[in-house]
Amino acid sequence: ITIRGKQTPPVLRIKVLYNLSRRIHFHTKKSTDKRTMKISQLLRSVEAAKSRIPSIKFRGGQQGQNNQGRPGGSQGSGSKQSSGSGQIYEDFQLPQRFKRQLIDAREIDAINSGGAY
């Protein structure tokens, strides 16, 4: 859509089409105007997207919230915070069963071939 010789952004296009739909009656079952049908399909999909509620509920809340209300300030500080429970091991202190195992030549060939044997 071009308004006053300028190309309009997609959000404005949707608003213009939405306002046009208020003036067009979609109640007729047989509409021969393909443009009207496309506009009505677009508007139905926009309305469906507006009314959509996400099915996933995140436990952390909204991501746009700031950290000022939390005790302890921001998470980006240089000090290391620990939960106080359990023992912390460095990688060189790990027990043998948790250490990384070496990769043999057969596994290297499988990785290099893309997983095909």
Domain that holds residue 35: 2-50
Structurally, how many domains does the chain consist of?
1
* pLDDT at res. 73: 47
Flag whether 87 is in a domain: no
Flag whether 10 is in a domain: yes
* pLDDT at res. 105: 92
State pTM to two decimals. Answer: 0.23
Give the CA-trace dihedral at 14, 17, 22, 26, to 10 degrees: -110
d(CA 72, CA 67): 9
Flag whether 110 is in a domain: no
Number of CB atoms found within 10 A of residue 43's CB? 18
Q: Which residues of the chain, if any, have pLDDT below 50?
A: 28, 31, 69, 72-79
